């Protein structure tokens, strides 16, 4: 399974990198919307929504994305607001993890909160991706940096956890995650931030801000991963889907990205790198 996971990653990564570096923002936004909405499709299934209601919910989120572009009129203010809303939503998700049994009952009214959480995860993350890529100063390279931080952290946590993991991070939500894995992911994420930040043209005065934002983005990516694990535990599912060999579904691949992108976008705006 590890070899299958690596092969799939070696195929997906170059495609993603080429899209980020070569596509104009509007085309990348359309491609990202397709990927993120596929993740939302899986999120809705984990939340107990299927059939026509699932299709309607997906369509409503697509319409929300279109309206966001239409209402922006070339300005990025609404995208900045969406990123801020996304950060706030993930802070509330942290509270949900504290009370992890909330919503475990499939007939619970918490299902509606899971649906709202799906929108608050997908749309702000997509808006943050557009915001970063559309920024004037090497936006495409900064988006690659943001994603590289999450990818590196995920890989670092995976291998550090497998080789060194002893102390469970959140055993009732995701038994395989360890504190050692978290530490390995944080180190890998910071190394990726330094390397790709240099490629994006970071100047020394902004390096400290980038490292701080990267560290928080890594922690946010773990939060996104844990929240998806919570959804899967409530649904009794191992993966969100089976679209990607060795990785499960699309949501299994973008869960950390969903939480990290708003943090990185907002941090980039605050620190000005």
Residue range 163-190, pLDDT digits in tens: 898 899 998 898 889 999 999 999 999 9
The domain in which residue 18 lies consists of 2-271
Tell me the C-alpha to C-alpha distance, in Å, between residue 167 and each of 162, 180, 220.
12, 7, 20
pLDDT at 166: 87
Per DSSP, the residues of 69-99 read: HHHHTT-SHHHHHHHHHHHHHHHHHHHHHHT
Residue 59: HSE in the Cβ half-sphere, 13 Å Cα cutoff:
6
Q: Determine the 3-state secondary structure of 35 from DSSP.
A: helix
Residue 105 clears pLDDT 90, i.e. is over it:
no
Choose among 153, 134, 272: nearest CA to 210: 272
pLDDT band with cut points at 50, 70 and 90 for residue 130: very high
pLDDT band with cut points at 50, 70 and 90 for residue 247: low
Q: Which residues lie below 8 Å from residue 11, measured CB to CB, with a gap of 6+?
A: none
Structural element, H or E, at residue 170: strand 168-170
How many domains does the chain fold into? 1
Q: What is the pTM of this model?
A: 0.92
pLDDT at 7: 74
- The rounded distance, in Å, linking the Cα atoms of 21 and 26 is 13
pLDDT band with cut points at 50, 70 and 90 for residue 246: low
- The rounded distance, in Å, linking the Cα atoms of 140 and 220 is 21
- The rounded distance, in Å, linking the Cα atoms of 160 and 188 is 10
């Amino acid at each position: 399974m590890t070899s299958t996971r690596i092969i799939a990653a070696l195929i997906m990564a170059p495609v993603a990198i080429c899209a980020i570096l070569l596509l104009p923002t509007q085309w990348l936004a359309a491609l990202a919307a397709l990927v993120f909405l596929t993740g939302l499709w899986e999120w809705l299934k984990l939340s107990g929504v299927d059939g026509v209601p699932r299709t309607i919910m997906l369509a409503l989120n697509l319409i929300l994305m279109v309206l966001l572009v239409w209402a922006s009129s070339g300005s990025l203010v609404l995208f900045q607001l969406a990123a801020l809303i996304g950060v706030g939503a993930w802070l509330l998700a942290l509270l949900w993890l504290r009370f992890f049994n909330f919503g475990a009952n499939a007939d619970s009214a918490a299902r509606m909160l899971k649906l709202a959480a799906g929108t608050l995860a997908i749309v702000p993350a997509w808006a943050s991706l557009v915001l970063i890529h559309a920024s004037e100063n090497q936006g495409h390279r900064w988006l690659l940096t943001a994603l590289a931080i999450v990818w590196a952290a995920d890989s670092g946590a995976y291998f550090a956890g497998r080789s060194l993991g002893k102390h469970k991070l959140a055993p009732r939500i995701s038994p395989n995650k360890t504190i050692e894995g978290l530490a390995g992911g944080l180190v890998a994420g910071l190394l990726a931030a330094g390397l790709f930040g240099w490629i994006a043209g970071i100047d020394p005065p902004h390096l400290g801000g980038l490292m701080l934002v990267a560290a928080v983005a890594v922690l946010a990516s773990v939060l996104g991963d844990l929240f998806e694990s919570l959804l899967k535990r409530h649904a009794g599912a191992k993966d969100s889907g089976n679209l990607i060999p060795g990785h499960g579904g699309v949501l299994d691949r973008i869960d950390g990205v969903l939480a990290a992108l708003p943090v990185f976008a907002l941090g980039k705006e605050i620190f000005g790198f």
